[in-house]
Amino acid sequence: MDVVRPATEWHISKYSAQRRVLVRETAAVYAAVTSPYVASIPEKRISWVYNILDGKKEQDLVVHQDNKFVLLPDSKWDRKDMASMYVLAIVKERGIKSLRDLRAVHLPLLQHIKAASLEAIQKEYGSAANTVRAYVHYLPSFW
């Protein structure tokens, strides 16, 4: 059970049962639909992300931080059950909003995130690299 208090209309919509559909997002659909939607999201909805990146919030939770990204446990993880370990790597380059923004030039960044995250996870939680599963959310839960 999730309890959200106070719950806004946005929270109620987010946590209510949703009809699921499969959408094949082509580059044209992304340009015509998704990108304008992302541009319309008020910055205040993701200010919590900027507060983490800027070192204003949740610094006591940070597992790794450098000039490229921040790694911290997701709020959904209780930090006890290692089988359900859930940490987030949040990129500091603000032009990267989703998987769609990644280009070949970002490959060194992704390799750095992988190596530094695995090292930090090993140090902080004792999990070996070959036991860690990594995912990219698309569509992301925040842009």
Domain boundaries in the chain? Answer: 19-131
> Model-level pTM?
0.78
pLDDT value for 9: 86
Residue pLDDT, tens place only, 71-121: 999 888 888 888 888 899 999 998 888 888 899 999 999 999 999 999 999
Q: What would the 3-class secondary structure string for 64-105 be?
A: EECCCEEEEECCCCCCCCHHHCCEEEEECCCCCCCHHHCCHH
pLDDT in tens, 47-64: 988 999 999 998 989 999
| 105-134 as b/e: b if 16+ CB within 10 A | eeeebeeebeebbbebbeeeeeeeeeeeee
Q: What is the CATH number of domain 19-131?
A: 3.30.428.10
* Residue 134 scores a pLDDT above 80: yes
Q: What is the pLDDT, as a whole number, of residue 26?
A: 93
Question: Which of 39 and 104 is assigned the larger pLDDT?
Answer: 104
| Amino acid type, 88 | L
Note the pLDDT of residue 94.
Answer: 85
Give pLDDT, residue 143: 67
